[in-house]
Amino acid sequence: MAELTGTTGLAALTAVQLIEGYRKGEFTPVDATRAALERIESTEASLNAFVRVDVEGAVAGAEQSAERWRRGEPAGLVDGVPVTVKDILLQRDAPTRRGSLTVPAHGTWDEDAPSVARLREHGAVFLGKTTTPEFGWKGVTDSPLNGVTRNPYDSSRTAGGSSGGGAAAVAVGAGALALGTDGGGSIRIPASFCGIFGLKPTYGRVPLYPASAFGTLAHVGPMTRDAADAALMMDVISGPDPRDWSGLGPAPESFRQGLADGVRGLRVAYSPTLGGQVAVRPSVASAVRSAVQRLAGLGAYVEEADPDFTDPVKAFHTLWFSGAARVTEHLSPGRRALLDPGLREICAEGARTSALDYLAAVDVRAELGRRMGRFHTSYDLLVTPTLPLTAFEAGVEVPGTSGHRRWTGWTPFTYPFNLTQQPAATVPCGVDADGLPVGVQIVAARHADALVLRAAHALFEAGVADSVPAPIG
């Protein structure tokens, strides 16, 4: 195979390309799985993206898939595609410790989360579980259990979080597809930092079980190399599951239908700073503006316009911190001492939250949702930077010279759309002077996931991600 996007051979191919190769008999799922496992072996020491790699299980699953393809009877849409699962989501026969020393590895692990179950039904090959900060509580990926996950473009930098392991894995070819979760940006943050695509679907579109302690802020979604792979993955994981009482019904149609319809005629609002509320680094602003100009060149009607809201971080903190307190309230003082110190801090703050405080935050959330609903009667899409900066030093919650107290200080473009439950994606659109990836965020009204994917696909097809080289290694 020729060298593709900086990694060699099959490990560099998208899921769509792998399926096409299996269909034509050019290579097998065993070949693709071994290539992905080789990438893990060669990069894991520098990245620390995995908490568990199941070599034997992956090869066995690939061999079974290869036999199905040989018979012309693939099990489903992603049969034989190597995937990874964030260690927040249940996976049968694999401990799910959620990045925490307080969760023992022993026990009976006999159930798949809904999204994992759907991937299994469609023949996916599970490579392993990827890293997360403890209970997914922050926007970088390090934990007392698993240590620090690093950026594939510069190992001194963070991969972002909380789905940092999955983002780093996709970036280096350690599996074409990754399952992530996003409660305040946890798919979009690491995807932007690691130069890949990430989608936070409309809340409930991908069922979640067990329910998150962070409630209806928490979404499950795909992390992939491009929007076409994400659309394919959404067709697999978006089906309803009776265990999720808040999940949506079946999607009205395939997410791949209309994917190539382009953006001509769409009304796009470009908000570079959310109305002056966010200080964005010049290199980030420049790359994002170029991506927006590309949308205009593709026929979208673009104008600079800001959504009508002020920073809802106080309400987000009320909901987020009380959720953290809830997930750890059963711990004894001795077990609580094992927690990440930052997590202990927000748990203590969350435990002091009254019911009235919580309901006031819910009111702020409802008003924000109303405002964004009205905004999308005028605009099909909102486009912003995904983040105001590129990846910073690994092992810290906030950049050292930022003055921020919590991770939300440097993620002002992401968490508002968890409050509103809207679909939001990040597309790689350039690099800064240090060669670190920049992402552009695309947001649509609730339930318009297909429109987000369509716009993202148009950008990929137009080459906006071509300026982001693959990581070396």
- pLDDT digits over 413-462, tens only? 999 999 999 999 999 999 999 999 999 999 999 999 999 999 999 999 99
Q: Is the separation of the CB atoms in 247 and 356 below 8 Å?
A: no
- Model pLDDT, residue 473: 65
Q: Is the separation of the CB atoms in 158 and 108 below 8 Å?
A: no
Task: Determine how many CB atoms are found less than 10 A away from the CB of residue 368.
Answer: 21
Tell me the residue length of the chain: 473
- Pairwise CA distance, residues 401 & 267, whole Å: 38
Question: Measuring CA to CA, which residue among 393, 371, 391 is closest to residue 432?
Answer: 391
Average the pLDDT over each of 4-13, 105-114, 165-174, 389-398 and give the range with the smallest value.
4-13
Percent residues over pLDDT 70 in the chain:
98
- Model pLDDT, residue 239: 87
Q: Is the separation of the CB atoms in 423 and 200 below 8 Å?
A: yes
Mean per-residue pLDDT, 331-348:
97
Classify the C-alpha dihedral 386-387-393-396 as positive or negative.
negative
- Read off the pTM: 0.97
Q: Is the separation of the CB atoms in 160 and 140 below 8 Å?
A: yes
Q: What is the pLDDT of residues 217-256, one digit of tens each?
A: 999 999 999 999 999 999 999 989 999 999 999 999 999 9
Q: What is the pLDDT of residues 287-303, one digit of tens each?
A: 999 999 999 999 999 99
- Model pLDDT, residue 363: 98
- Model pLDDT, residue 3: 33
Q: Does residue 7 surpass a pLDDT of 70?
A: no
Domains in the chain: boundaries: 3-313+354-467
Percent residues over pLDDT 90 in the chain:
97
Domain 3-313+354-467 fold is Amidase signature (AS) enzymes (3.90.1300)
DSSP label of 37? H
pLDDT band, residue 8 (cuts 50/70/90): low
- Model pLDDT, residue 194: 98
Q: What is the pLDDT of residues 259-286, one digit of tens each?
A: 999 999 999 999 999 999 999 999 999 9
- Model pLDDT, residue 107: 85
Q: Active-site positions? A: 86, 162, 186
- Model pLDDT, residue 5: 37
Q: What is the pLDDT of residues 355-396, one digit of tens each?
A: 999 999 999 999 999 999 999 999 999 999 999 999 999 999
Q: Does residue 4 surpass a pLDDT of 80?
A: no
- Model pLDDT, residue 472: 73
Look over the chain and give the mean of its residue pLDDT values, rounded to a whole number: 96
